[in-house]
Amino acid sequence: MAAPLDDDIESNNQDFYSLLNVRKEATAEELKASYRRLCMLYHPDKHRDPELKRQAEQLFNQVHQAYEVLSDAHSRAIYDIFGKKGLEVEGWEVVERKRTPAEIREEYERLQREREERRLQQRTNPKGTISVGVDATDLFDRYDEDFEEMPGGGFPHIEINKMHISQSIEAPLTNSDTAVLSGSLSTHNGNGGGNINMTVRRVMSAKGWGEVEFGAGDILGPLIGLKVFRNVTPRCFMTAQCGLQFSPRGLRPSCSLMTARHLDQNTMGYLQWRWGPNSAMTTSLVRDTKSSHFTLALQLGVPHSYLMMSYQYKFQDEDQTKVKGSVKTGWFGTVVEYGAERKISRHSILSATVSIGVPQGVTLKIKLARANQTYLFPVHLTDQLLPSAVFYATVGPLLVYMAVHRLIVIPYTQAQKEQELELQRKSSATDIAKKKQEAESAVSTRMLKHSSLLCLIILNAWYGTFVSDTSQKQEKAKVIDVTVPLQCLVKDSKLILTEASKSGLPGFYDPCVGEEKSLKLLYQFRGVLHQVISADKESLRIPKQSHRIESES
């Protein structure tokens, strides 16, 4: 190919359909009728003044270019897929004249697949987790006699007793092969270790994949593993895994088998068998809907057997708020957990969970997920079941979140939105200036003389964002006068606008990028005043009896 395919195929800002004021499904006859009418309005020979003639010629050429593209089936198909940029490149297979529109779309899909392959070669998809464990038991489990003997004993001792860091990156080798490199470091009460793993995954078909894993660490020793996934039926899949650990105590083989089945549209059933150091049989039921998530699991094994049930309610709000609760009981004791989760920015989710257990005590777990990075902060408050610890673990994070959200998060997100809108306006400044010049050209040519003989006369037309009736200055700064351009589009005492942004019409431009716009119209039909307000992408047909302004008696 002579020209490379850009990362993003963008259509030109000037919409040919809006320029001709026709639907995207317009027939050849509709295109021809609109083209002829606009050519009569904008023909340069109607003007003797050199400046007006130059401006009319510019508008005439734009209309001619739009019709030339849309009237040809091949060019129209390319324009519908690629936009104007697809018509300007050379050497693409898609511009071959013998191909049908369907073949052009197939060629585009092929080029898109090639582009995705190039993107795969550059993608690493990093993922990471950082966990910092805090021991704050001295806040509640204090022994006064011990503190009196220690210097500075009046202050509770809070320390970080454990930490875990893990990171992984992906490296696509081919379109079906991917290599994953991962590593982790852990420390607990002064003792630590780490490991590194290398996994090669191959997608064998649309129904399954397999991967081979190699690992090494300073505690458990080298590891070799194999994992296979397979879709057995459209409603059932299976995963098998086996591994061999070369530990200082000898070889430690392990294997597991898991099968899952869709019980209905929102419910999954799982059955898992594990053999090795922690042999167990687990069955679980998971139901996930738009408003809730429910899990029920039962495990029988050595050394752990338990019964677990959890429920999560999803609020249908912009911040994707969720509240959750769970209970888990087994040979190790009983644990009750409850918490909440909320989206605090575009890429960040914050959650807090209180865990109350016997004999574990009370623990507050704070989790921050940002993009592919996860940060965990488990804070162990007490080894006993103290009401004060439960109270502060519940109320404390809630008060801190409300203060931070009001004082930091809300101002930050508002500033970000304003900054993005300002950047969008600056990037569109050149196009807006050009469209404004074209609009002024359309108005200055005065191609249509107002006459009282016309049944439909546009008296006033404003396009933009109308803030309020009282803020006159702000309203004028965000609207433009489109009276003459709209009068030019009147045909046979009718004005018909299609379902497209009106900023693409001749003589129009976008006066307020990124904001909602409307068209405010005051017109006269057979001597009677009419008024209407139409949304930017709403079709409009006048005159209408419902637009009539009732005269005061």
Q: What's the pLDDT tens digit per position in 92-123? A: 444 444 456 666 666 666 666 666 665 655 56
CB atoms within 10 A of CB 63: 20
Residues 135, 161 contacting (CB under 8 angstroms): yes
Residue 4 confidence (pLDDT): 39
* 376 and 465 belong to one structural domain: no
Kind of pairing, strands 280-288 and 159-172?
A: unpaired
Token pair of 480, please? 């433009």
In a domain, 398, yes or no: no
Q: Are residues 191 and 329 in the same domain?
A: yes
Q: Is 9 part of any domain?
A: no
Q: Which tens digit of pLDDT belongs to each residue from 130-162?
A: 999 999 988 887 655 554 555 555 677 888 989
State the pLDDT at residue 266.
92
**Rounded Cα–Cα distance for residues 414 and 63 (Å):** 41
Half-sphere exposure of 244 (CA within 13 A, CB side): 5
pLDDT interval class at 10 (50, 70, 90): very low
- Confirm whether 280 is domain-assigned: yes
Whether 206 and 346 share a structural domain: yes
Range of 86's domain?
Answer: 16-90+99-119
The phi-psi region of residue 418 (left if phi > 0; otherwise alpha if psi is between -120 and 50; otherwise beta) is alpha
Last residue of a domain, one of 331, 352, 385: 385
pTM of the model: 0.59
148: tokens are 């009196």
Instruction: Provide the residue count of the chain.
Output: 553
Mean pLDDT score of the chain, rounded to an integer? 80
CATH value at residue 39: 1.10.287.110
What pLDDT does residue 94 have? 42
Q: Quick one: 381 and 489 in the same domain?
A: no
The 3-state secondary structure of 233-255, one letter per residue: ECCEEEEEEEEEEEECCEEEEEE
- Give me the CATH number covering residue 366: 2.40.160
Residue matched to tokens 């997100």: 413
214/129 same-domain check: yes
Residue 68 lies in a domain: yes
What's the structural domain count of the chain? 3
**Tens digits of residue pLDDT in 366-394:** 999 988 899 999 999 998 888 999 999 99
**Domain boundary at 340, 361, 385, which?**
385
Q: Do residues 220 and 171 share a domain?
A: yes
On whether residue 209 sits in a domain, the answer given is: yes
Give 147-204 pLDDT, tens digit per residue: 455 555 567 788 898 999 999 998 888 888 999 999 999 998 888 889 999 999 999 8
- Choosing from 385, 409, 435, the residue where a domain stops is 385
Contact present, 269 and 260 (Cβ < 8 Å)? yes
**488/520 same-domain check:** yes
Q: CA-CA-CA-CA torsion for 552, 543, 513, 443, nearest 10 degrees?
A: -100
pLDDT confidence of residue 91: 42
DSSP string for 397-412: HHHHHHHHIIIIIHHH
Residues 162 and 30 in one domain: no
The answer as to whether 408 is a domain residue is no
Residue at 455 is within a domain: yes
336 and 269 housed in the same domain? yes
Same domain, 64 and 170: no
Confirm whether 415 is domain-assigned: no
User: Are 83 and 134 contained in the same domain?
Assistant: no
Mean pLDDT of the 28-45 span = 82
Model confidence at 288, in pLDDT bands (50, 70, 90)? Answer: very high
Q: In angstroms, rounded to a whole number, what is the distance separating the alpha carbons of residues 10 and 183?
A: 40
Q: Are residues 104 and 137 in the same domain?
A: no
